[in-house]
């Protein structure tokens, strides 16, 4: 392992991408947080996306996520870009598919870096790029009977 800075404790991790999954089962913040634990990380940033009860001024009655078969590969590509751009010690991202209800966790991502500013920036890039580049679609059904499909994530 090559050192990333001057301190031996800052050696590069073997594989900073610790957990990437798309699943139909409920998500766990604790699982994601544990996955990015690293003794050389001084900052860990975590983002949790939940199903809210409204969107665009309408009450959401039901919501489902589906994905393209390439979604897992695209998620890895996005994660690899974040690892290449930031000094990531550990990274994890899990997105849920299937039928969800208000309050359910839809996506949880976390990044550990040597410092907090890097962790915040890397986590922000990770969730923003996942939302825009990974083919996961949201099907919202509103309480007035209307519905809409929302592009990636």
Name the region of 4 (left: φ>0; alpha: ψ -120 to 50; beta: rest).
Answer: alpha
* Ranges of the chain whose pLDDT falls below 50: 1-4, 13, 152-153
- Please tell me the pTM assigned to this model: 0.89
pLDDT in tens, 59-85: 998 899 999 999 999 999 999 999 999
Find the length of the chain. Answer: 153
pLDDT of residue 62: 86
Q: Angle at Cα 48 formed by Cα 34 and Cα 27, nearest 5°?
A: 60
């Amino acid at each position: 392992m090559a050192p990333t800075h001057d301190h031996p404790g800052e050696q590069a991790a073997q594989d900073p991408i610790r957990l990437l999954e798309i699943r139909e089962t409920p998500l766990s913040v604790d699982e994601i947080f544990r996955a990015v634990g690293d003794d050389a990380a001084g900052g860990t940033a975590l983002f949790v996306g939940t199903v809210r009860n409204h969107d665009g001024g309408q009450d959401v009655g039901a919501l489902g996520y589906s994905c393209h078969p390439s979604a897992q590969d695209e998620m890895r590509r996005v994660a690899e870009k974040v690892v290449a751009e930031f000094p990531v010690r550990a990274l994890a991202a899990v997105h849920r598919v299937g039928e969800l209800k208000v309050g359910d966790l839809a996506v949880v991502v976390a990044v550990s870096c040597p410092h907090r500013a890097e962790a915040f920036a890397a986590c922000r890039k990770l969730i923003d790029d996942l939302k825009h580049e990974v083919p996961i679609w949201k099907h919202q059904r509103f309480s007035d009977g209307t519905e809409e499909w929302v592009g990636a994530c």
